[in-house]
């Protein structure tokens, strides 16, 4: 817990000093010119369970993002952190009453999407009060990653490129049946298959932001986390998430350091 308080204490100091605001895309800082400056770099998080990875990014980083993704983030109620993830057509819709709530049916669809390339994919957004898992889902770890202002701008552009857009150029909202409260899911134009699944996508976003991860190898969260550790991209202790930490999108997640 002491390590966790240290991680979030340092982040709070950054926020009070205004360094996060200066490090958002478009800021005139050494990091924005391609030179990493620890005082103006931003901490983002990779949050994982046994099979899936998401990203957690400060909401402030989207203030000067491309119009499409900025409009999506602006629709999210509450919370200064934005969780973003990507997956196949059934992704994020396993709530009770939804079409993929039954475990056997969900697992059957998951197996099919790994074997048969899917032209239909989804990108999920939700606002959180603190870095952690998506609402009502059990995840096991939270890994801090430092990224330069320029890198974060490029990473957000990579996320923005995932949207399928309508004739008006706006992202297309997906069917939200089975999604947790506060979650928005949009249609994505990216193909989902065994060598381009959710963990590969997270690695690609990190790569776009200047974090060196061999995305083609990131088949599982375990491999992705190992890459972050080995390459030195991990910015602090990995945090173990308690069961039930993702019970509500607007409730502070409970975490303890794992190493």
Residue 190 pLDDT greater than 50, yes or no: yes
pLDDT tens track for 24-69: 333 333 333 344 566 679 999 999 999 899 999 999 999 999 999 9
pLDDT tens track for 126-182: 999 999 999 988 899 999 999 999 999 999 999 999 999 999 999 999 988 888 899
Segment (H or E) for 174: none
Question: What mean pLDDT comes out for the span 78-96?
Answer: 87
* Selected residue with higher pLDDT from 18 and 145: 145
d(C-alpha 163, C-alpha 86), whole Å? 10
Return the SS3 of 148.
Answer: coil
* Selected residue with higher pLDDT from 87 and 27: 87
Question: What mean pLDDT comes out for the span 77-104?
Answer: 81
Burial 82-111 (b: 16+ CB within 10 A, else e): bbbbbbbbbbbbbbeebbbeeeeebeebbe
* Selected residue with higher pLDDT from 232 and 217: 232
pLDDT band at residue 105 using 50, 70 and 90 as cut-offs: low
Length of the chain in terms of residues written? 259
Residue 41: closest CA among 49, 32, 50: 32
d(C-alpha 14, C-alpha 10), whole Å? 6
Q: What pLDDT is attached to residue 213?
A: 84
Provide the mean pLDDT of the chain: 80
d(C-alpha 41, C-alpha 242), whole Å? 28
Is residue 235 within 8 A of residue 211, CB to CB? The reply is no
Return the SS3 of 234.
Answer: strand
């Amino acid at each position: 817990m002491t390590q966790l308080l240290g991680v979030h204490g340092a982040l709070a100091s950054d926020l009070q000093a205004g360094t996060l605001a200066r490090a958002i895309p478009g800021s005139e800082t050494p990091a924005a010119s391609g030179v990493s400056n620890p005082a103006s770099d931003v901490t983002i998080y990779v949050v994982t369970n046994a099979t899936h990875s998401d990203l957690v990014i400060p909401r402030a980083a989207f203030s000067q993002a491309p119009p499409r993704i900025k409009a999506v983030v602006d629709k999210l109620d509450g919370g200064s952190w934005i969780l973003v993830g990507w997956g196949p057509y059934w992704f994020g819709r396993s709530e009770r009453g939804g079409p993929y709530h039954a475990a056997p049916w969900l697992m059957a669809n998951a197996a099919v999407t790994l074997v048969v390339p899917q032209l239909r994919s989804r990108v999920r957004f939700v606002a959180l009060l603190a870095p952690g898992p998506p609402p009502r889902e059990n995840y096991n770890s939270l890994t801090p990653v430092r990224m330069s202002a320029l890198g974060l701008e490029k990473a957000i552009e990579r996320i923005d490129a995932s949207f399928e857009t309508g004739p008006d150029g706006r992202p297309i909202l997906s069917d939200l049946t089975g999604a947790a409260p506060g979650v928005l899911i949009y249609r994505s134009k990216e193909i989902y298959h065994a060598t381009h699944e959710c963990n590969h996508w997270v690695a690609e976003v990190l790569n776009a932001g200047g974090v060196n991860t061999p995305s083609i190898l990131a088949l599982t969260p375990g491999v992705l986390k190992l890459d972050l550790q080995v390459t030195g991209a991990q910015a602090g202790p990995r945090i173990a998430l308690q069961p039930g930490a993702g019970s509500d999108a607007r409730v502070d997640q409970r975490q303890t350091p794992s190493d």
